[in-house]
Amino acid sequence: MEMICSKIFLLVASQVILFASPASTDEKIGDTQVAYEWIKLDFMWPNETIKNNYITTGKYIPENCILSGLEVFEHQIYVTVPRLRLGVPSSLNVLKMQNNKTVLKPYPSLEKNVEGMDKCDNLQFVSNIKIDRRNGWMWIIDTGRVNLLPFDGTNPLDLCPAKIVIYNTRANSQVRSHFFSEKVVSKISNYLADIAIDGKMAYIADTFDNRLIVYNYDTDTSYSLEDVTMMPDQAFISFTVGEDVINWRRGINGIALSSDFKTLYYSPFSSFSLYSVPTSVLKNNITAFKNSVKYVGDLTSVTDAMLFDENRLYVSLLSKDAIFYWDMRKPVNGVKNDTVNTFKMLVKDSKSMQWPDSLAIDGHYLWFTTNRMQKFFRMMDFTGNDGANFRILKTYIGGKGEAGKNAFSLTVLFAAFCATVFAHFH
């Protein structure tokens, strides 16, 4: 038994070295590369007959498909294509190679992504996902409504109640599906934009109805919280991305959990303000919620995504075409209208980083999508004359990274197990 423990310990330790070490000693913080890019999104189809049927019936309109959410886990890259308009064949996908190009394979299947009022168990409108690296569970938020940004005279379709779906990526099986009641999430007005997870808890931003949704896995219950800090700033008028002025007033959008899971951060879409609230209040004492919200500071731009890793809060800044980060070990004044001056730029590019939409961390890299959403509001160029519209980029951030932290934890746990075994036999 002792010899087996020793061999397995060496194997696990080798994995720590493999996954926690930088890919290249020459890489510097902020070094960025485009991993994937598309002018139009295409999907992996069972056959050409099915693809042609989707096209002729209007179920696949390439110009209506926009890249949004992102997660990277165990050598797989998952992306969402929210049904902001009609003609999106699959709202949740995994990247695959087909005929020497990268396409989107419907996940978990094309059948599970078929929309419709009679198919509410399927995925209707997925904007974002998060994967628990400890067990491989993917937490999927489904707005239930489609065609939320029509431009052809059609109206939004309120197909199904909103829900959260938990899917085991390792076992390829569904763990649970929880439909939100009308009291918690409105079937006719919600937009579930972002999610943060903490073991058996999920925190979800409803950006259309200015609410924070809390879901408890153990009790399979959910409830919503509202506060003025989740609403659009009354003084907010518009913002600019490139040469485009956007007049879009929406509430709580980007959310992130601190590395110790003790604090939830959030910011309304139509605001520069960043707020925080203790998760202990969200879990156990919601009556104290309003008095527990803390103003952190003002960002320098509208943000559409935020994510924590170790001591840093990464934030996408739309008007800056950039990703900034805040070192949480440094103090912030917390004075109203005071800029969060401890934010530093990680990476910026006015061409490839228009509208950074979703963030993910895997190993030593921050991955993110960009999608030129400001063009999608009006008329996006799908001819290729204006270059790629959708990109996935990755930036070197150093540190232990998620893979390094998880491998280190596994090593510690196994070392403790071996110590117990050794004590038992002696």
What pLDDT score does 160 carry? 98
- Residue 188: Cβ-neighbour burial (10 angstroms; 0-12, 13-18, 19+): exposed
What pLDDT score does 334 carry? 55
Q: For the chain, give the mean pLDDT.
A: 88
What values do phi and psi take at 180, rounded to 5?
A: -80, 140
Alpha carbon 350 to its chain centroid, in Å, reads 22
Residue 174 bridge partners (DSSP): 167
Q: What is the pLDDT of residues 73-82, one digit of tens each?
A: 999 999 999 9
Look up the pTM and report it.
Answer: 0.88
- Residue 44: Cβ-neighbour burial (10 angstroms; 0-12, 13-18, 19+): middle
Residue 139 tokens, joined = 């937490």
Q: Is the pLDDT of residue 7 over 80?
A: no
Under the banding of pLDDT at 50, 70 and 90, the label for residue 26 is confident
